[in-house]
Structure 1
Amino acid sequence: MKVKVTMQDIADRLNISKNSVSQALSGKDGVSEETRQLIIDAANEMGYIYSRGRKSTEEEVGTFAILASEFAFSKRNFFGEIYLSIEKEAAKRNKRMVIQSIDKHSSENLILPPILLDQSVEGILILSHITNPYIQAVTNTGIPTVLIDHHHPDLKADSILTNNRYAAFTAVQHLIELGHTHIGFIGNIQFSPSYYERLEGYRLALYQAGIEYNPIWVIDRVVEEMDDVLNAVQSLDKQPTAWFCVNDGFGFLINSVVYKLGYSIPQDVSIVSFDNGQLSRITTPLTTTMDVDLSYFGRKAIEQLFWRIDHPEEPFVEILLPSNLIVRESTQHPNS
């Protein structure tokens, strides 16, 4: 009895992904014409029966997994929009998304979801950071993986990131152009590599403008809670005339603290934050912030995951996405 030739057989013969074979034989975009012809020739030679230009009867909806910590999933305004974009882009490519929330016990004990252990997913997206050892355990499965809004030298995976250094540089440069020279930084650089990179962007902007770096005004290990921020700012001998905040949460807290200390915004203190989330849009006055295109995050993540599936041996890459300054009422010249 003649054995039925499958797409996987063709993929194994050509050392490419089954997804590439499916795209080529169903007439979809996503593979080069050279690769498409190579696949068609191999299919004909091996006796595979397909209908060119129509969806193959063998082609089924594939599955991608999206992993994140419980904390990341709780940030619905930020990661929720990224997920919706991912789901939409995946559906266009005949893929469904399976969500896996990773709790603290699983992350500490490197307990992977069953769908990863039984290799029932074709690709993995990881939102934000879990722990580096846990992400390493995920990538060790050999399943193509793309990180979103997180990277680390120890992690062997592609990353989709905001260009944090340049974005922070732009934010602080805005304050400098308004005339500020006493500019504070606030955030927790231990929480995320992104925040450390934003500190580097802050320092670069000061350096380029010839403004002396004052470590007293750099609060880089404070918890994102009102009491902690208030105590940290209140303890300063001299207040800066402007603050760069690593995210909108810190921007919201600095806004409240400045008022508690008897200052006005922006007459006495200007504030720039990061992300253009809901908190930047409900403060009084509205907060100047760096806008991150969350939908674009999702689109690029799916594009890169498909690319990685088709190019498993290529070097890992980091894709830096731009962000834009949105000027609102929280910033002005210090003497206006």
Structure 2
Amino acid sequence: LDGIEKACVANNTNLIIKQATNWDALNHSLDNNKGYGVILFGSDEPTGAPPEVLRKAPAVWVMGSPERFRGDHVQPDHSRIGLIAADYLLTAGHRHIAYLGSSEGNPRFHVGFRASAFKWAVLHAGGQVEMLTSSNLIIADSEHNSPDEAVAAELIARLAAQKPRPTALMIEADMLAPITYRLLQTHAIAPQRDIAVITCNNEQPYLLSLNPRPIVIDLQAMSIGQRAVDQLLWRRNHMQDPAMRIMIEPSLLLP
């Protein structure tokens, strides 16, 4: 959102922020705020078909995994995130590596392509990968977006029980990092000493309390927001051109 706001200021464009939990609410917001276009920000689409206005007005979806939306989509390159993480850990000498997350990739869960690419890269290099995944790992509803502690505890217990134990762990997203650190320590496993940890997104509120700091893959949220505004402004004059899927290159941040 910060990148979207900064890009709007740079382009002398007003930004009106509205929360809409369904397509009807979006229609109502658009009826009351006629503008040059729409930037949609969210993980999942509402149920039902997107409103016709999104076919007639410039529209860009940011992040998430939209299925029925037919406009432009700007997101991180999730596969590159997995490849960068695998390359770093393999180069550091790790050959038995674990992945903690929700699931591998599919059209409804683009973040999972991090897992798919990570698994492929480790196996392709001759390594061994343990996929500690559960579709119930994240509680995501109208009131929550946080790890399920019981599910996380079960997955980390599986890691701790392995003999030999993986020497490195990739975490799907930073929101899982604090609970992962705590659960590892309950099994007398010290992060970054007994097991190398790499996490993704670079969301500082989740990382500030972690000691020692994990390796982080920055998904470049600022650039994603700025690129969404650039794409919206471009789309205003190119409504007949095919929709675009734009992926932003992530970067590796060492502690």
TM-score range, shorter chain: 0.7 to 0.9
Contact 1:115-1:121 within 8 A present in 2 as well: no
Deviation (angstroms), 1:220: 3.8
Structure 1 residues 270-289: Cα deviation after superposition (integer angstroms, max 9, x where no partner): 11000112122320111111
Contact 2:98-2:129 within 8 A present in 1 as well: no
Structure 1: gaps of 5 or more residues:
1-82, 329-336
Q: SS in structure 1 opposite 2:166?
A: coil
Q: Is it true that 1:90 corresponds to 2:45 in the alignment?
A: no
Structure 1 residues 166-195: Cα deviation after superposition (integer angstroms, max 9, x where no partner): 121111221112222221111223896232
Q: Is it true that 1:208 corresponds to 2:124 in the alignment?
A: yes
Which of 126, 132, 138 matches 1:218?
132
Contact 1:275-1:289 within 8 A present in 2 as well: yes
Q: Give the TM-score normalised by the residue count of structure 2.
A: 0.84
Deviation (angstroms), 1:164: 0.8
Structure 1 residues 281-329: Cα deviation after superposition (integer angstroms, max 9, x where no partner): 320111111013222122111110011111000001111111111122x
Structure 2: gaps of 5 or more residues:
139-146
CA distance in 1: counterparts of 2:97 and 2:189, whole angstroms: 15
Q: Is it true that 1:264 corresponds to 2:190 in the alignment?
A: yes
Contact 2:169-2:195 within 8 A present in 1 as well: yes
Amino acid at match of 1:277: E
Give the corresponding residue for 1:13. Answer: none
CA distance in 2: counterparts of 1:254 and 1:317, whole angstroms: 36
CA distance in 1: counterparts of 2:33 and 2:118, whole angstroms: 43
Contact 1:187-1:219 within 8 A present in 2 as well: yes
Q: Is it true that 1:161 corresponds to 2:88 in the alignment?
A: no
Q: Is it true that 1:230 corresponds to 2:148 in the alignment?
A: no
Amino acid at match of 1:243: L
Give the corresponding residue for 2:87. Answer: 173
Q: Give the TM-score normalised by the residue count of structure 1.
A: 0.65
Which of 126, 130, 144 matches 2:40?
126
Q: SS in structure 1 opposite 2:117?
A: helix
Higher relative contact order (CA 8 A, sep 6+): 2
How is 1:1-336 mapped onto 2 (pairs within 5 angstroms)? 83-103=1-21, 107=22, 110-117=24-31, 120-133=34-47, 136-137=50-51, 140=54, 142-189=56-103, 193-214=109-130, 217-221=131-135, 222-223=137-138, 224-236=147-159, 237-238=161-162, 239-278=165-204, 279-328=206-255
CA change 1:212–1:266 in 2 (3 A) is closer
Give the corresponding residue for 1:39. Answer: none
Amino acid at match of 1:258: L
Larger Rg: 1
CA change 1:220–1:182 in 2 (3 A) is farther
CA distance in 1: counterparts of 2:58 and 2:49, whole angstroms: 12
Contact 2:96-2:129 within 8 A present in 1 as well: no
CA distance in 2: counterparts of 1:139 and 1:264, whole angstroms: 53
Amino acid at match of 2:234: W
Paired-residue identity, %: 17
Number of positions where the alignment pairs a residue of Structure 1 with one of Structure 2: 240
CA distance in 2: counterparts of 1:100 and 1:285, whole angstroms: 39
Q: SS in structure 2 opposite 1:100?
A: coil
Amino acid at match of 1:184: A
What is the aligned-residue RMSD (CA, Å)? 2.4
Amino acid at match of 1:266: Q
Higher normalized helix content (fraction of residues): 1
